[in-house]
Amino acid sequence: NLGRACLSDRALAAARGVSQGYSTLEYDLTAGERGQRYAHVEPLLCRLTGAEAAMVVNNNAAAVLLILSALTAGGEVITSRGELVEIGGSFRMPDVMAACGAVLREVGSTNKTRLSDYANAISEQTRALLKVHTSNYRIVGFTESVSPAALAELGRSRSIPVIEDLGSGCLVDLAPLGLRDEPTVQASVKAGVDVLSFSGDKLLGGPQAGIIVGKRHCIDLLKRHPLARALRVDKLTLAALEATLQAYADGTALQEIPVLSMLAQTPEELRQQAESLCRRMGGIGVTVEVVSTENPVGGGAVPTQTLPSFAVAVAPRDSAAALEAQLRQRPVPIIVRIAHDRCLLDMRTLFPADLDEILQAFRETAS
């Protein structure tokens, strides 16, 4: 709700540069003739993920819509009952399938689905096996699910394509940052999934986009489908996405891409930042204190897990709700959260450039 992932300086510069004049959006300089807009990011995506081919549409919901329309219309799609996701805005997987002309075939139970459930459901009407990463919820406890590798092997043995919706999309292992069990795109490609899609924003940290990678013969079908033109992205998105992907290729993603650099900050770094801001705010007459907090990673990504952080807790003169509303309604809004009748400024979410604006806001409230 706050604009998704913040773009890196490199991505902003790329979008600005491509918007100020002509570009080679659909012009092949080598051949001297019309080219494909996918060519600006396809080589990078293939290099980073190990996929044979790639394309980009305007968001991951559009990617799923295109994949199902092109590969499964008129037939059945077998999906685990525990993976029938709903994301924000009441976007539900069963409704998407119906809109694409596919018939949903649910298998397993809410908490347990086995490979045999998929195998036993395959019929002459089966067009695909679909796996959906539950990126905004988890089923825990007495559970069982089928791995992408096992599902891909079943699909190969029956000549049925396997599709995976990875949702938030992750190109780096987040375990060193303290976040467990978040699958990477590379792992699914290596497992043999035929077509997979994921978001360009969220964990990838780029502009809003739906990225599709997979086997060349499947991606070629998607590129030729009539919906591909309706769902295509513009030059600003492609430029920002290309620059974001280049940071991964250069090995500088953790330093350059804001969402990753925020996740990578250590509690000690955040505590020092909170203490510095606390001293500055105390100097303008605001009652503040450094407090420890826990950070959820974000909407639609890595549910149930948090990272330790530090925040500056501001004690209001009247009520925390009144102060929160006052900060939110400024010309430059400041969004805080309330805990124990205090307004919290969490250091993990702040940029150094934000601090002067924050100080000005609290000077206004103090006066």
Residue 278 maps to which CATH number? Answer: 3.90.1150.180
**Res 233 pLDDT > 70:** yes
pLDDT exceeds cutoff 90 at 365: no
- Could you say which of 231, 253, 275 is where a domain stops? 253
**Looking at 253, 288, 314, which one is the last position of a domain?**
253
Whichever domain contains 181, its CATH number is 3.40.640.10
User: Whole-angstrom Cα distance, residue 363 to residue 215?
Assistant: 57
For 89-132, the pLDDT digits (tens) are: 667 888 888 889 999 999 999 999 999 999 999 999 999 999 99
Look at residue 44 in the predicted model and tell me its pLDDT.
Answer: 98
Quote the crossing angle between the two packed helices 235-250 and 9-19, to the nearest 10°.
140
Domain annotation covers residue 127:
yes
Q: What is the average per-residue pLDDT within 165-171?
A: 90
For a pLDDT cut of 70, what percent of the chain falls above it? 98
Report pLDDT for 89.
63
pLDDT of residue 194: 98
Condensed to tens digits (0 to 9), the pLDDT of residues 50-104 reads 999 999 999 999 999 999 999 999 999 999 999 988 876 667 888 888 889 999 9
Residue 249 above 80 pLDDT?
yes
Do 173 and 90 fall within a single domain? Answer: yes
Domain presence at residue 258: no
* Same structural domain, 236 and 216: yes
Residue 1 located in a structural domain: no
- Give the per-residue pLDDT at 94: 87
Asked if residue 305 and residue 168 are part of one domain, the reply reads no
pTM check: above 0.75: yes
Q: Does the residue 340 lie in any domain?
A: yes
**Averaged over 214-220, what is the pLDDT?**
98
Angle at 338 between CA 336 and CA 342, to 5 degrees: 105
Kindly state whether residue 236 falls inside one of the protein's structural domains: yes
Q: In whole angstroms, what is the distance from residue 5 CA to residue 280 CA? A: 28
Q: Residue 299 — very low, low, confident or very high, per pLDDT cuts 50/70/90? A: low
d(CA 220, CA 61): 19
Whether residue 174 is found in the same domain as residue 229: yes
- Are 219 and 322 within one domain? no
CB contact set of 134 (below 8 Å; sequence gap of 6+): 82, 83, 85, 167, 303
Is there a single domain that holds both residue 188 and residue 316? no
Q: Are residues 169 and 24 in the same domain?
A: yes
Alpha-carbon radius of gyration of the chain: 23
Say what the pLDDT of residue 92 is: 83
Say yes or no: 239 and 271 in one domain: no
- The pLDDT mean for the chain works out to 93
Is residue 260 in some structural domain?
no
Does 347 reside within a domain? yes
How remote is the C-alpha of 226 from its chain's centroid?
26
Do 65 and 204 sit in the same domain of this protein?
yes
Query: pLDDT of 131-161, one tens digit each?
Result: 998 877 888 889 999 999 999 999 999 999 9
Choose one of 202, 219, 253: the last residue of a domain: 253
Q: Are residues 125 and 217 in the same domain?
A: yes
Question: Distance (Å, rounded) from C-alpha 270 to C-alpha 272?
Answer: 5
Same domain flag for 244 and 339: no
In a domain, 3, yes or no: no
Q: Give the count of domains, the chain.
A: 2
Q: Give the residue carrying structure tokens 């030729």.
A: 224
| 345 has a pLDDT exceeding 90 | yes
Residues 6+ apart with CB under 8 A from 346: 293, 295, 309, 310, 311, 337
Which has the higher per-residue pLDDT, 4 or 73?
Answer: 73
Query: 211 and 127, same structural domain?
Result: yes
Provide the residue range defining the domain that includes 362: 265-366
